[in-house]
Amino acid sequence: MTLPMRSNCKVRDPNGTSAGDLLESHRVLSDFFHWIVAHPRVLRVVDLLNIWGLIGIGLAPFLNPLTRLACAFGILLLVLYYVSFR
């Protein structure tokens, strides 16, 4: 699924949260991810940043000057996903 499509699904689901995914983390940053889940306001901010980050990263290649910045943030996001799920 492409990044804009995934973020669109998250925007449309008001009950959607990353809590389940973060609780499954058992590696390097698992304590930090579990702390995020334990604080509902922080979790909501992280969810919003994730949604709008995916949208921004997905749209940025259409805006030529922002392509490199989007690539950097895309790499950062993928590294965080990898660390949390592996």
- Three-state SS string over the chain comes to CCHHHHHHHHHHCCCCCCHHHHHCCCCCCHHHHHHHHHCHHHHHHHHHHHHHHHHHHHHHHHCHHHHHHHHHHHHHHHHHHHHHHC
Model confidence at 7: pLDDT above 50: no
Q: Which of 72, 74, 64 is closest to 7 using CA atoms? A: 74
- Asked if residue 15 belongs to a domain, the reply is no
- What are the tens digits of pLDDT across the range 30-82? 899 899 999 999 999 999 998 998 998 888 888 888 888 889 999 998 988 88
- Asked if residue 20 belongs to a domain, the reply is no
- Asked if residue 58 belongs to a domain, the reply is yes
Number of compact structural domains in the chain: 1
- Asked if residue 33 belongs to a domain, the reply is yes
The pTM for the full model equals 0.70
**Average pLDDT of span 4-29:** 70
Enumerate long-range contacts of 20-24, CB under 8 Å, 24 or more apart. Answer: 21/84, 21/85, 22/84, 24/85
Q: Which residues form the domain of 74?
A: 3-8+29-85
Res 1: pLDDT: 45
- Asked if residue 19 belongs to a domain, the reply is no
